[in-house]
Amino acid sequence: MAKPADDDDEVDLGISLETVATVVDHVRALQGTEETDEAQLSEDADSEAALLQENPDDLTEDSLREFIDALNEDEQASLIALAWIGRGDYGPEEWDEAVRLATERNEAGETGGYLLGMEMVGDLLAEGVAAFGLSIEEVER
């Protein structure tokens, strides 16, 4: 059973919460643009769906893949491990093992493609962070 993280026993995720939040926000924005239908857009010009459609060139899967692939190897492994923890493959107490296996899995590269191939990866990453008693929702953007 995992014990909650406190200030004395805080785990080093190997990646900043700001970086994880950026990935989660981008993934959620992409999901929003993919799931938007014309009825939602016409209902309210200030709705989240309408706002996500304003700059579709800024929110592409390719740009997110490039952002992830530009991270260093430790950060990429941490993202994979967080997604696995969020999916329930590992618990927070197995962090070191998850990172080790994510590093091995990532030797071939293509972290961006791997993560973007996961269904609901934004939610998985947020859940992975939450498993450590942290929240990306509280990260200033």
Q: What is the pLDDT of residues 78-102, one digit of tens each?
A: 999 999 999 999 999 999 999 999 9
Pick from 49, 6, 12: nearest CA to 29: 49
Q: Which of these, 7, 9, 8, lies nearest to 95 by C-alpha position?
A: 9
Domain positions in the chain are 13-138
The model's pTM is 0.77
The C-alpha atoms of residue 74 and residue 12 are separated, in whole angstroms, by 11
Report DSSP state, residue 108. Answer: G
Q: Which amino acid is at 102?
A: A
Closest residue by Cα to residue 35 from 22, 21, 47: 47
pLDDT at residue 121 is higher than 50: yes
Rounded Cα distance between 59 and 69, Å, is: 16
Q: Is the pLDDT of residue 132 over 70?
A: yes
